[in-house]
Chain A
Amino acid sequence: MVDKLTTDIGGDPAGPVPQEDRDQLFWEKQMIAAFNLLQVKGVVVTDEFRRTVEEMPADYYANSTFYGRRLDGMVRLLIEKGVIDADTIEARTREILESGTRDHV
């Protein structure tokens, strides 16, 4: 018996559908663009990305946001493919958080 994928939620009980809309943040739009470029350039394949999201622990999936999952899935996949290094991105994230800088390239 194979476990259900964490993403396989069709028919599961759930609360009210959230009605409030929310504009995409600038960085989220950038992220989607970067993600699209990775696909267009053949660095990643959409099916691989979906699979990395499915491989995350169930409690992560339950407590994550839509954009959070896209980011984490993309990072995870790029580490798997050796495009980036896990320690390096972690260190760079800390640096950016500490300095509080942001650039809107």
Chain B
Amino acid sequence: MSDHDHDHDDHAPTREDDDLELTEGEARFLALKSLLIEGGVMTADEIRARMEFNERGSPHQAARMIARAWVDPDYKARMLADTKSAAAELGIEATEAALVTIENTPERHNMVVCTLCSCYPRSLLGEPPAFYVSKAYRSRAVREPRKVLREFGVDIPDAVDIAVHDSNADLRYVIMPMRPQGTEGMSEEELAALITRDSVVGCALPVEPS
């Protein structure tokens, strides 16, 4: 087995599970992996490279885009019109075939769910949160969104409509939260830090500035 690599940033694959007992699931996967490599379907290097590629996806990428949209109305318009191109402008490569941004407004709050499986803009945001792929969220978000949001500590008043987006086919969604009050004069980097992973799915509001 090769040595541990040099220090990685937060997003690098870790080897913490060296201390975990080998489960049946992992053993099954390792068996599969060995068969795929032996069969010439893929190489270990390709797996490694793809893991690194996948690590680039993170909520911070969307946060950067949204922060830019908050300060630059023209960028916001471009992001709403063509999210993929707007990502590319910031050096972010999103590989989803169809990526759409939905904007929260004072009249309407938006949230996303994939009731059938776990569709999520992974190349942009990374892996979805555990709650997003849970059966409880997938079942209930479409039927009782306000109750689900209250479980997240988010209380949307009845005067604000809720739109739930079931990501059941080819589109992948980014929710653009509203810019919080009291953030005038903040830099894009400071603004991006307010935009959480859960706010980009519609299950949280951005952090209020302290």
Please say whether the chains A and B touch (CB closer than 8 A): yes
Q: A15-B136, A26-B16, A105-B48 given as contacts; is B29 within 8 A of A10 (CB)?
A: no
Q: Mark A82-94, 1 if CB is under 8 A from B, else 0.
A: 0110001100110
Identify which of B2, B41, B136 contacts A83 (C-beta below 8 A): B41
Q: A10-B143, A21-B129 given as contacts; is B44 within 8 A of A105 (CB)?
A: yes
The docked-state distance in angstroms from the alpha carbon of A51 to that of B133 is 17
B201 CB to nearest A CB, Å: 12
Q: Mark A1-40, 1 if CB is under 8 A from B, else 0.
A: 0000101111111111111111111110111111011101
Contact B50 A26 (CB under 8 A): no
> Is B104 among interface residues, defined by CB-CB distance under 8 A?
no
Contact B31 A93 (CB under 8 A): yes
B123 CB to nearest A CB, Å: 10
The docked-state distance in angstroms from the alpha carbon of A75 to that of B33 is 10
Q: Mark B67-90, 1 if CB is under 8 A from A, else 0.
A: 000000000000000000000000
> Is B181 among interface residues, defined by CB-CB distance under 8 A?
no
Q: Give the size of the chain B interface in residues (CB under 8 angstroms).
A: 57
Q: A10-B116, A32-B127, A34-B42 given as contacts; is B27 within 8 A of A93 (CB)?
A: yes
The docked-state distance in angstroms from the alpha carbon of A33 to that of B43 is 12
Instruction: List A residues 41-91 near B (Cβ within 8 Å).
Output: 41, 43, 50, 53, 66-68, 71, 74-75, 78, 83-84, 88-89
B11 CB to nearest A CB, Å: 11
Stretch at the interface among B18-26, B172-180, B182-190: B18-26
Contact A102 B50 (CB under 8 A): no
> Is B13 among interface residues, defined by CB-CB distance under 8 A?
yes
Contact B13 A26 (CB under 8 A): yes
> Is B159 among interface residues, defined by CB-CB distance under 8 A?
no
Q: A10-B143, A105-B44 given as contacts; is B32 within 8 A of A36 (CB)?
A: no
Identify which of A7, A10, A32 contacts B166 (C-beta below 8 A): A10
Contact A25 B50 (CB under 8 A): no
Measured between beta carbons, the chain A residues less than 8 angstroms from B140 are 14, 17
Measured between beta carbons, the chain A residues less than 8 angstroms from B135 are 9, 14
